[in-house]
Homo-oligomer: A and B are copies of this chain.
Amino acid sequence: MSQFDAVEVIRTKRDGQALRDGQIDWVVDAYTRGEVADEQMAALAMAILLNGMERREISRWTDAMIASGIRLSFPAEALGGRPTTDKHSTGGVGDKITLPLAPLVAACGAAVPQLSGRGLGHTGGTLDKLESIPGWRATLTQDQMLAQLGDIGAVICAASDDLAPADKKLYALRDVTGTVEAIPLIASSIMSKKIAEGTAALVLDVKVGSGAFMKDIDPARELARTMVALGADHDVRTVAVLTDMTTPLGLTAGNALEVRESVEVLAGGGPPDVVELTVTLAREMLRAAGIEDVDPAQRLADGSAMDVWARMIRAQGGDPDAALPTARETHVVPAPADGVLVGLDAYAVGVAAWRLGAGRARKEDPVQAGAGVEMHAKPGAEVRGGEPLFTLHTDEPDRFGRAADVLATAVTIAPAGSRPDLPDLVLDRIAE
């Protein structure tokens, strides 16, 4: 019989005390094995959400989640001396940054071992986007991953089920028990997977605003600080940037639409905000990896990032030159009035893309490769009533109505000569 007892662990946190190391190790392991029941972990998760955790507890909880599965490592010799560095975004609307960023950072001399996920709800998933490229496969073995990383310097693939399985089980539980919002559990969920993935350096893009999980800057800052501390405690050089998500990133939200825009960025063009954030995050990833003498903006301009992209896509079975899928139907939404576009709500645009078929409500649902929202103006632009503001894409035209309904709430137009009062793209930077 175990010296631990689920009710005693729950009571400790319920009564506002810190969990001891042994309690944390036991409860995470016993929950993964099914010895601690879902209802017990749900009560504990609620107590953690309401009573919080100290840095030591969160760190130990993260260790226990990592210990529930395998831990990857990338021997320096297999990577030809490239240091590993990765990025994680907490998720936003139109956030395709990983696509140009991973090959760009590889083109600058680092290795990017990005284990990524699929989308749920109004934010898209990196794997869903890449899967719109004909032939591209998300699943690699560990050996394939290591070989590609050594050869090309960038891998974006699906995380193995063996990586932090405790997190998988706990996340599904939190989703149905109103305990997703616990900062210690968000931080340990993200960081357990990134630490188990084996990267030596990590940049966190913590999104703030209507289109993000974190609507306000204060909890976003707390989450960022918590994750940076977890990285430091686990010898992963970690830095967080807080970035604005009140407005979508770029001019597209949808899988193939975002791949197209990413390729434009890799070709030296693309929307300024996508370029700015890609270069900013590339600089942070390189700095965290100890590479200071390469300018990522130049590697975008000279085509070397695009070369890595093409090799990376090909290595996973994709054809970088193939035409991307397009939706069967399109529908243009005109601007409702003359004036200046001063607001374009990220959440509403995300929901519209989701309703068009770009996202999923449950994790078993399929997504449409071609579906999504194309924006013809961003805040600050002058618009004329009746001219195109959005083009909606979907295979199922009966989806247009509800997508247009929510987009109508996304748009704020002010009289000509007005200036939008928009936050900076990068709001803050947090390091230890």
A106-153 contacts to B (CB < 8 Å): none
CB distance from A38 to the nearest CB of B (A): 4
With A38-B38, A49-B14 already in contact, the answer to whether A43 and B179 are too (CB < 8 A) is yes
**Assembly CA distance A50 to B13 (angstroms):** 11
A177–B39 contact, CB under 8 A? yes
Give how many copies assemble into the complex: 2
Residue A46 CB within 8 A of the other chain: yes
Contacts of A177 in B (CB 8 A): 7, 10, 39-40, 42-43
CB distance from A51 to the nearest CB of B (A): 7
Partner of A178 from the list B43, B49, B50, B178 (CB cut-off 8 Å) is B43
Residue A419 CB within 8 A of the other chain: no
CB distance from A238 to the nearest CB of B (A): 29
For residue A14, which residue of chain B has the nearest CB? B178
**Assembly CA distance A210 to B45 (angstroms):** 30
Contacts of A294 in B (CB 8 A): none
A174-208 contacts to B (CB < 8 Å): 176-179
Partner of A42 from the list B43, B49, B50, B51 (CB cut-off 8 Å) is B43
CB distance from A4 to the nearest CB of B (A): 13
With A46-B47, A47-B50 already in contact, the answer to whether A176 and B41 are too (CB < 8 A) is no
CB distance from A214 to the nearest CB of B (A): 15
With A46-B47, A50-B14 already in contact, the answer to whether A37 and B7 are too (CB < 8 A) is no
B40–A7 contact, CB under 8 A? no
A22-54 contacts to B (CB < 8 Å): 37-47, 49-51
For residue A8, which residue of chain B has the nearest CB? B178
Contacts of A49 in B (CB 8 A): 14
Interface size on A, residues (CB 8 A): 24
For residue A11, which residue of chain B has the nearest CB? B178
Partner of A176 from the list B37, B45, B173 (CB cut-off 8 Å) is B37
Bits for A236-273, please: 1 = Cβ < 8 Å to B, else 0.
00000000000000000000000000000000000000
The listed residue with most B CB atoms (<10 A of its CB), out of A40, A46, A50, A179, is: A46
Contacts of A45 in B (CB 8 A): 43
The listed residue with most B CB atoms (<10 A of its CB), out of A6, A37, A40, A43, is: A43
A173–B46 contact, CB under 8 A? no
A39–B173 contact, CB under 8 A? yes
CB distance from A346 to the nearest CB of B (A): 22
**Assembly CA distance A358 to B267 (angstroms):** 82
**Assembly CA distance A39 to B170 (angstroms):** 12
**Assembly CA distance A42 to B7 (angstroms):** 12
For residue A177, which residue of chain B has the nearest CB? B43
B14–A46 contact, CB under 8 A? yes
Bits for A89-120, please: 1 = Cβ < 8 Å to B, else 0.
00000000000000000000000000000000
**Assembly CA distance A115 to B107 (angstroms):** 78
For residue A47, which residue of chain B has the nearest CB? B46
Contacts of A14 in B (CB 8 A): 46, 49-50, 178-179
CB distance from A431 to the nearest CB of B (A): 32
Contacts of A7 in B (CB 8 A): 176-178
What are 12 A-B contacts defined by CB distance under 8 Å? A6-B176, A7-B176, A7-B177, A10-B178, A14-B49, A14-B50, A39-B173, A39-B176, A40-B178, A42-B42, A42-B43, A43-B177
Interface residues of A (CB under 8 A from B): 6-7, 10-11, 14, 37-47, 49-51, 173, 176-179
> Other than the known A40-B42, A46-B47, A46-B50, what 4 A-B pairs have Cβ atoms closer than 8 Å?
A10-B178, A14-B49, A42-B46, A43-B43
